[in-house]
Every structure is written in structure tokens, then in C-alpha cells.
Amino acid sequence: MAANPDETASQRPTLREKYDNYIGGEWVAPVDGGYFEDTSPIDGSVLAKISQSNQKDVDLAVKAAWKAAESWNKSSATERSNILLKIADRIEENLDMLAAIETWGNGKPIRESSLVDLPLAIDHFRYFGGAIRSESGESSDLDSTRVTMEVHEPLGVVGQIIPWNFPILMAVWKLAPALAAGNCVVLKPAEQTPISIHALIEVIADLLPPGTVNIINGFGPEAGKPLATHPDIKKVAFTGETTTGRLIMQYASENLIPVTLELGGKSPNVFFDSVMAEDDAFLDKAIEGFVMFAVNQGEVCTCPSRALIQENIYDEFMERCLKRTEAIVMGDPLEMTTMMGAQASNDQYEKILNYMDVGKQEGAEVLTGGEKFDNPAHPNGYYIKPTIFKGNNKMRIFQEEIFGPVVSVTTFKDEAEALAIANDTLYGLGAGVWTRDIHQMQAMTRGIEAGRIWCNCYHDYPAHASFGGYKKSGIGRETHKMMLNHYRHTKNIIVSYDKNKLGFF
């Protein structure tokens, strides 16, 4: 049901008029006093004023973080774990409020923010809280008088630059392991979607020692750069695109610090003919798997934006997929029945429409969608119809990330051709394989060059399963305990129990 604009306005969560930086456990106005407006993609309205920070603010935050690091870097795993578990509980208690703010800030449907984004964020805190209690270092007896130990120590203070597609969840993917490993953090939210992270901090602020987490709002060139180049930042984590990824690595080379990068993909979703061997629950699941390109309006780094369908089932399978795609309900993102919401910003909306034009010029056939959606619930928001193109893998719409609800479909003859097309991409973040043949599944999953392969499923992001890219999709693995080592040093200690000298000198 489409709410009228007045009714919708009344559903708005209570927001502050302006959001300052969060430094040393306090809300601090930007040194130079600048603010910019954050608008909601749902209806184009202004949500709040956001601090426009620069190097001076970043310096304050880094200083506050190092002050907190004196004790936090040395805190016990028990203490940190207990705090992470309490944070998870607190977010859970405030789930509905945070989900509503996430939807207003980003445009995603409320059913996703409340059933996916927030529950996953909660679970990632619990997972890393648990992981640091159960892990142990390594020690080896070299011989009867020598023992060697590998111990882990936090890096100190780290910088994190967060994308706008999952403002809370992507922040938590980075915050939870960094805090668990004993680091203090200076985090910059995306300028399109800063509010929900502040709302989250507000509900957990009393649980964190002041200065362990610091939030700096602002624009990339003004606030992102001073953070990424700061000589007292010991590691930078970034999710975004390739040119900025290169710039982050370039800045890191100035200070010789490590980076982790997640830079997107053009993920293939491969459907073999056996999915249609029976008209059963599995076929139904595979069709849903195809339509997963519409999750989060396609603004997912692992969006299954290339669908590869075996040619002998193409007509019949696509007919079912088209029906399912056309059944996607668009409307007010605040309604639980709405399946697809607004694109996150005006420039994102324009970019997607430009790619629709590129696809048409390249000769791709529009099977459905291919244009904007005039949303009666919110005429001023940024809505685009779920779109299916048919074309070939050499087209730009098959090679470049559109970051919208757009899937490009092509066919293949056999397993070898499916693998060749799947790997004919600059990226390697995710992939889906759908088949009833376990041997074929194994050949494909080992053959595809990507960091995450979903077998007979898609878009599943549990904690305890590593996530990261091959090829140009990035460096590092998140959402798994191995991320802890991206946030800490390994120190080797050799202990001699021999009272006698070597005899060399």
C-alpha cells in the first residue's frame, strides 16, 4: 500500500538536526565549522546537517584514538569480547529504530534493513567476540632448551573508510574485527549515508571506552585523504572502487602500512540445464537465485549482475525468471511488502540510467525494465525498474559494475564455455553455480576465479565464512577470524632455558 507523503513523513525516525564528529567519546563540532546536508534517496528530502571535516578534525580523532589505545591495546581478550557481546545485545534492543534510519538514509527496503542488515551486524559482533575467546597463539619446542612463541599484538590505531550501500553492516564488518584485535579506530562513513552509523554509536556509546571508536564525517578529498595519509594510522581498510583503491594503496605506500581493499565485481550466476530436470522446490530456489540481482537495488559488490544460462533451457528458464522479476513489488521502502527501494543517490540513479543507454546502444535486448520507476509513494525519490538485458559478455554492461538492479544475461553451450565466460572479467569477488550434478559443481567452483562461490544459493553472508576478492576485486578477507590478522602484528618470541653460553665469543 502506498502511503501518502504526509503519512510517510510521520513514520520518520527522530533524527538530530545535525550530526557532529564523534571524538574521544564526545560529539565535537568540526574545527572550521562547516556542515553539509544529507538527503534521503527515498524522497529527496533533507534528513540532517552533517559535519564537513578536514585534516584538523582527523588530527584530533587520531590523537584521541591513540590516547585510548594506551589501555585498549593492552586490554584482555575477555574484556574486549564482553564489550562486543554487549554491543550486539544493545543493537538488538534497538533494531527497529536503527533499521528505519538505515532505510531512510540509504533507500533500501525496510524488510532488508530489519531482516538482513541489522541481524547480520549483530551476529558479526558476536562472532568476533567469540573468536577472540577461542583462539590461541602458537608455541613450538625447538629443542630441549628453546621454545618459540607466535603472539599477536594490535596495530594500534587504524583508519576505515566505509561505503554507502550497507552503511551499518559494512562499518561493522570492519569495526568488529578491528576492536576484537585490540585496535582503536578512526572511521569515516560515506558522505551519502552517515546518519545510521551515528545512530548506532549513540546506542552503544556508554559501552565503549572513550576514544576507542571515533567517527569523522566529510568528503573524500577533504577528510578521507588526511585519514588515509596520516602518519599515525597503522592500517587502512577501504571498500569502494578501483581508482580510489589504487589511491589508498598509493597513500599507504607513503607510510609503508598495510591496506585491505574490497573493490567490487561483476559476479557470474551460472545456471546449468539440470536445474530444470524437475519442476520442484530446487527449481523454484534457482529462479529466486536469478532474481537476487534485485537485492538492495543491485547496490551490492557481489550483485549477480551476469547470468549465464545453458542454452538448451534458456527459453523455458527465462520465461520463469521474467515472471518472477516482474513480480517484484516496488513502492514505499518503509512498507514490509516492498521488495525494492530507492537507489542511494541522484548520481547513482543517473549513472544506472546511462548504463541502460549504453546497453541499448551496444545492441543488448531489454527483456524487462530498462527505465526509471515513477514511485507514486515518493515522486521525488530515485527509483529504477528491475532490468534484464540479453547480450554477450564482451559488452560493457557485462564487464562494468552498474551497481543497480540490472542483470545481463547470456547463454553457454557446455561447462567449458560457462567457465570461460565466467572468468572473462577483470574482477573476481563472487559467483553462483546452480546444478544438480555434484561433479559439475566441483569443476565449476574450483574453476571460477573468485573469492566467494555460492553453490546452489546466492547472497548469503554469514560470519565465519571469509569474503574477499581475486583479481581486481581487492585484497584481504573479511567476515572471518582470519581478518583479525589483518588488524594485528605477529610477534615472535624465542626463549632459551639454557644457562650456558654459545661459546662463540
> Whole-angstrom Cα distance, residue 54 to residue 86?
33
Can you say whether the dihedral through the CA atoms of 112, 114, 116, 120 is positive or negative?
positive
DSSP 8-class letter at 473: T
Provide the terminal-to-terminal Cα distance of the chain, rounded to the nearest Å: 87
> Whole-angstrom Cα distance, residue 356 to residue 149?
57
Sheet with 387-390, strands from edge to edge, namely 365-368, 387-390, 406-412, 306-310, 268-271, 430-434, 452-455
CB closer to other proteins out of 154 and 245: 245
DSSP 8-class letter at 298: G
What's the 3-state SS for 326-356? HCCCECCCCCCCCCECCCCCHHHHHHHHHHH
Work out whether strand 157-161 and strand 184-188 pair parallel, antiparallel, or are unpaired.
parallel
Could you tell me how many residues make up the chain? 505
Q: To 10 degrees, what angle do helices 118-134 and 167-180 make?
A: 10
Question: Which of these, 478, 502, 311, 317, lies nearest to 410 by C-alpha position?
Answer: 311
CB closer to other proteins out of 240 and 268: 240
CB closer to other proteins out of 299 and 478: 299
Whether 364 contacts 390, CB under 8 Å: yes
Question: Which of these, 279, 287, 225, 220, lies nearest to 255 by C-alpha position?
Answer: 225
CB closer to other proteins out of 400 and 437: 400
CB closer to other proteins out of 222 and 417: 222
CB closer to other proteins out of 71 and 361: 361
CB closer to other proteins out of 249 and 322: 249
Q: Give the active site residue among 102, 112, 191, 262.
A: 262
Sequence-separated (6 or more) residues with CB below 8 Å from residue 158: 178, 183, 184, 185, 186, 233, 234, 235, 236, 237, 487
Annotation marks residue 262 as catalytic: yes
Residues engaged in binding other proteins (CB under 8 A): 36, 39, 52, 163-165, 190-192, 219-222, 224-225, 239-247, 250, 262-265, 299, 301, 345-348, 350-351, 354-355, 357-358, 361-362, 394-396, 399-403, 426-427, 472-473
DSSP 8-class letter at 487: G
Spell out where 373-462 has E strands: 387-390, 406-412, 427-428, 430-434, 452-455
CB closer to other proteins out of 164 and 293: 164
Can you say whether the dihedral through the CA atoms of 206, 123, 332, 341 is positive or negative?
positive
CB closer to other proteins out of 188 and 488: 188
Question: Which of these, 451, 485, 448, 447, lies nearest to 465 by C-alpha position?
Answer: 451
Q: Give the active site residue among 102, 184, 301, 335.
A: 301
Sheet with 488-496, strands from edge to edge, namely 138-143, 146-154, 488-496
Q: To 10 degrees, what angle do helices 77-93 and 95-106 make?
A: 80
Active site amino acids: 262, 301
